[in-house]
């Protein structure tokens, strides 16, 4: 019997791309009007959450707020986003401070028109037609998009992993190295593999690096 495959029509989802300029925007936030370009010279973690006054998001906001001082020491700012109104954001962060004792120190975008959510591909209709999923965009000090993480509605994010990602990217920029699986600050880094036979010979003779083989060498920084 002839097989007929079903073609499911889906509207195209625009996603920003790693290594390219982060899409620019101007936003209404709990700290007033903010443009992405205001963060030039500083790293930025732009994250979205599904909705204010929801429990998983509340745990994440507490986590992000606790991280904020450490991120600032790393020249990294933080900004949240959902499609809730500015009044909802204000009421929710006041509630978190009054009931849970955590001050929310970073701005939150009220993206009621979903312009920024569309620009960054934050709405995944299979998860929710209206709410933004749990996205994290790491934007560097020259406003290049360096990393994206997407989590579903029901899974709270791992704050340690988000900071680890910023630390790894900053180490890459400073030392021109890569970081291995499960790398933690202070751990050995990966030296990019040589791309000529001559450099491969030099690499294995290099006393500054520890090589498992010519293409797989690590060092301490």
Q: Tell me how crowded residue 134 is: count the other CB atoms within 10 A of its CB.
A: 23
56 or 178: whose CB is closer to ligand BEZ? Answer: 56
Q: Which residue ranges make up the site for ligand BEZ (CB under 6 A)?
A: 50-51, 54-57, 153-154
Min dist CB 133 to ligand BEZ, Å, is: 9
Catalytic: which of 57, 76, 135, 217?
Answer: 57
Min dist CB 72 to ligand BEZ, Å, is: 25
Instruction: Locate all alpha helices (DSSP H) within the chain, ordered by sequence.
Output: 55-73, 86-100, 115-119, 159-175, 197-205
Min dist CB 171 to ligand BEZ, Å, is: 32
**Sign of the CA dihedral with 118 first, then 121, 126, and 127 last:** negative
53 or 87: whose CB is closer to ligand BEZ? Answer: 53
d(CA 48, CA 45): 10
132 or 143: whose CB is closer to ligand BEZ? Answer: 132
Question: Among this protein's residues, is 76 annotated catalytic?
Answer: no
Helices 86-100, 55-73: inter-axial angle, 10-degree rounding: 80
Supply the residues annotated as catalytic. Answer: 57
């Amino acid at each position: 019997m002839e097989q007929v495959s079903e073609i499911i029509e889906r509207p195209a989802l625009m996603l920003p791309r790693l290594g390219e300029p982060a899409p620019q925007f101007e936003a209404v936030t709990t700290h007033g009007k903010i443009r992405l370009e205001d963060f030039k010279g500083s790293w930025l973690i732009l994250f979205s959450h599904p909705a204010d006054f929801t429990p998983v998001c509340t745990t994440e906001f507490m986590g992000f707020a606790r991280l904020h001082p450490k991120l600032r020491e790393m020249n990294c700012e933080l900004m949240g986003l959902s499609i809730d109104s500015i009044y909802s954001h204000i009421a929710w962060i006041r509630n978190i401070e009054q009931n849970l004792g955590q001050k929310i120190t970073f701005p939150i975008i009220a993206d009621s028109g979903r312009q920024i959510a569309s620009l960054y591909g934050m709405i995944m209709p299979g998860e929710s037609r209206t709410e933004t999923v749990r996205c994290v965009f790491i934007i560097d000090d020259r406003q290049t998009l360096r990393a994206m993480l997407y989590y579903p509605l029901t899974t709270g994010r791992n704050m340690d992993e988000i900071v680890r990602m910023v630390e790894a990217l900053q180490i890459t920029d400073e030392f021109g190295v890569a970081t291995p699986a499960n790398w933690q600050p202070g751990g050995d880094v990966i030296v990019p593999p040589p791309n000529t036979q001559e450099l491969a010979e030099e690499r294995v003779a290099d006393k500054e690096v520890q090589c498992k083989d010519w293409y797989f060498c690590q060092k301490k920084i």
